[in-house]
Amino acid sequence: MDLGQTERLKPVLAAVKAMITDEIAPLDAEFLAEVGVGDRWSFTPRQTEILEGLKAKAQKRGLWNFWDTFRDGPQLNTVEYAYLAEEMGKSHLAAEVFNCNAPDTGNMEVFARYGTDAMKEQWLKPLMAGTIRSAYLMTEPDVASSDATNIAMRCERDGDSYVLNGKKWWATGAGDPRCAVHIVMVRTRLDGPKHQQHAMVVVPADTPGINKLRAMEVYGHDDAPHGHMHFHYENVRVPAENLLLGEGRGFEIAQGRLGPGRIHHCMRAIGQAEKALELLCTRSVARQAFGKPLAQLGENFDIIAKARMDIEQARLLCLKAAWMMDQGDKRAAAPWISQIKVVAPQVALDITDKAIQMFGAAGVSQDTPLARQWTHLRTLRLADGPDAVHRRQVARAELAPYSTGQNTS
């Protein structure tokens, strides 16, 4: 049963599936093989040809900016978009081809909802056109950023400007040569209610004082040319109008941005789980050992059955979280988002690990997408809030009816 697949979604979903299967996924390996050619932090002519050629096709077919709630034409709700995100999870390039890649979708939403007309003209339009990329800078090396009230980068008013000082790391996408703008979580005051001490500020990526210290490595891989960068902001000065909404409103913007993003990550993870199970099953019937197909050895029947059941359960939970978001009550949706943020990466990671085991040594090599996928999924258990933080949120919501007058924080 395809819950929530509306009549307006079905032709779009069919077109997305076909393009991923026939045109995008077959080019993933060639695109990635080009990373080591020349400067790792620039696109080779062949990479540009692949990516821009596919993007042009997608845009011409109207398969573009699915998550932009301010786009012209039919607007997809979160449930509908979830099905598209699942398909995009099956290919390395797919999300960018359809201009639905992180962190740009979240940043486009920020500019659309909270940005000034000037910001929309300067940043939102080229992001929607896919001609620039962006980064979202929140996590810091010197504090426990899983508690975002710890965010310490200083942002101080100086006349008609704000001056930023501090360090940020794991700025995903900031290594991309097309990354033109940062949205940065900063501290604007040191007292008052803890959720009213921060703000979001828009910083052009070429602003003087932004020092790119290094590319962070994920299990030894730098994810070039996309990258996850470590920055030191030293007296970075921006106009006062670059502050979004005003001082003390950073958490308001962050929650509006991160909720949808978590759903997108989780549905892409379910797509990765489906891809891993497909590879696992194909390998298990194609290879033989000890006179039998691998599928018939050991507990492989049980592994395959459990993988299918886990995927179906995770998908239903993700669709429930997406449906809760579509009802418009962010507070009611929050524990459901936290549930799927724990479940989906764990399910996809486990199935990917089982697929690696089925492939043996080939599974950890560059000959399949499984090793790269495993590192991404393991990282996803930390991105946008680690498992423990989300489990805490789920438990607090569950205990709330039993804890009247008690502190469950």
The predicted pLDDT at position 1 comes to 54
Q: How far is C-alpha 5 from the geometric centre of its chain's CA atoms?
A: 23
What whole-number percentage of the chain has pLDDT above 90? 90
Among all chains, which residue has been given the structure tokens 């049963």?
1
Rounded CA separation 356/303 (Å): 13
Rounded CA separation 184/123 (Å): 14
Answer yes or no: are the C-beta atoms of 352 and 271 closer than 8 Å: no
CA distances from 232 to 86, 102, 135, 146 (A): 35, 22, 15, 20
Query: What is the pLDDT averaged over residues 66-86?
Result: 79
- Per-residue pLDDT of 87-115, as tens digits, reads 999 999 999 999 999 999 999 999 999 99
For the chain, the C-alpha Rg in angstroms (whole number) is 22
The predicted pLDDT at position 2 comes to 75
Phi-psi map region of 44: left, alpha, beta (phi>0 left; psi -120 to 50 alpha): beta
Task: Give residue 38's identity as a one-letter amino acid code.
Answer: G
Considering only residues 404 and 60, tell me which one the structure prediction assigns the higher pLDDT: 60
The predicted pLDDT at position 27 comes to 98
- Per-residue pLDDT of 182-209, as tens digits, reads 999 999 999 999 999 999 999 999 999 9
Token pair in block for residue 317: 């939970």
Residue 225 pLDDT class (50, 70, 90 cuts): very high
Output the pTM of the full model: 0.93
What are the counts of helices (DSSP H) followed by strands (DSSP E) for the chain?
13, 10
Domains along the chain with CATH numbers: 9-101 (1.10.540.10), 133-248 (2.40.110.10), 253-402 (1.20.140.10)
Residue 69 pLDDT class (50, 70, 90 cuts): low
Using the predicted structure, report yes or no on whether residue 409 has a pLDDT greater than 80.
no
Phi-psi map region of 207: left, alpha, beta (phi>0 left; psi -120 to 50 alpha): beta
Query: What is the pLDDT averaged over residues 104-132?
Result: 96
- Per-residue pLDDT of 307-334, as tens digits, reads 999 999 999 999 999 999 999 898 899 9
The predicted pLDDT at position 405 comes to 59
CA distances from 21 to 25, 89, 207, 389 (A): 6, 12, 41, 36
Using the predicted structure, report yes or no on whether residue 408 has a pLDDT greater than 80.
no
Rounded CA separation 151/137 (Å): 11
Which segment of 50-54, 259-263, 361-365 scores lowest on mean pLDDT? 259-263
| Helix or strand run (H / E) with residue 154 | strand 154-158
Query: What is the pLDDT averaged over residues 292-311?
Result: 97
Upstream peptide bond of 11 is cis (omega within 30 degrees of 0): no
Residue 258 pLDDT class (50, 70, 90 cuts): confident
In sign, the C-alpha dihedral spanning 201, 135, 62, 322 is: negative
Residue 262 pLDDT class (50, 70, 90 cuts): confident
Biggest CA–CA distance in the chain, Å, is: 79
Answer yes or no: are the C-beta atoms of 333 and 325 closer than 8 Å: yes
Rounded CA separation 188/157 (Å): 8
